[in-house]
Chain A
Amino acid sequence: DSGVTQTPKHLITATGQRVTLRCSPRSGDLSVYWYQQSLDQGLQFLIQYYNGEERAKGNILERFSAQQFPDLHSELNLSSLELGDSALYFCASSPREGVYNEQFFGPGTRLTVL
């Protein structure tokens, strides 16, 4: 158990809908990262927050947005969902920002768009 929690574990929804994925980092970790893992694209970095501020952005679609709240939990919002958004979404946390930090991964949220 990494100490990172994600809810929900599974989510099934329809095209065009909007969902919110939630991540609680390990106690004391200030950095939160979001990743998408799909069958055709593999693992991809989406976005990173550090202490409430956006720090790095990857291949995140405009339909997706995220934020980190004052209590350091983070939410990833996915809207106008398409079939291709079906994937595993992971959140990870680390104590600090910077390339030399180990990241601790949550169990993931499996999103199925029908």
Chain B
Amino acid sequence: KNEVEQSPQNLTAQEGEFITINCSYSVGISALHWLQQHPGGGIVSLFMLSSGKKKHGRLIATINIQEKHSSLHITASHPRDSAVYICAVARWTDKLIFGTGTRLQVFP
């Protein structure tokens, strides 16, 4: 079993929809990262969380340390949000352990 699980694996949405991507992990962690990988391959760091909630534009990330769960929400989704979203956890070192990613497609 992977230490970091994401759901769903694939997600299709219509423009304007509210989207939620989930990440569950089975190990103790210090921090959790959400990354976005564009179709061309480039990776962008969206959030680094150790507790609570963070918001950046239309993106919101939450984490519940006790339940070992994090969610990434996208409000008012847009076709340019189409990408793979990857959750990664850091235990007690800088080494990141990655989930397998959620592929999101947003159609106009």
**Identity of the chain B residue whose Cβ is nearest the Cβ of A33 in the assembled complex:** B94
B48 partner residues in chain A, CB cutoff 8 A: 100-102
The verdict on A88 contacting B41 (CB below 8 Å), with A43-B88, A100-B30 known, is yes
Cα distance A102–B50 in the bound complex, in angstroms = 12
How many positions in chain A have a CB within 8 Å of any CB in the partner chain?
A: 28
**Identity of the chain A residue whose Cβ is nearest the Cβ of B46 in the assembled complex:** A102
Cα distance A8–B107 in the bound complex, in angstroms = 34
List the interface of chain A (C-beta within 8 A of B). 2, 31, 33, 35, 42-45, 48, 55-58, 88, 90, 92, 97-105, 107-108, 110
Question: Apart from A97-B94, A101-B48, A103-B96, what 13 extra A-B contacts exist at CB < 8 Å?
Answer: A2-B44, A33-B96, A42-B99, A42-B101, A44-B98, A45-B98, A56-B94, A99-B92, A100-B31, A101-B94, A102-B33, A107-B41, A107-B42
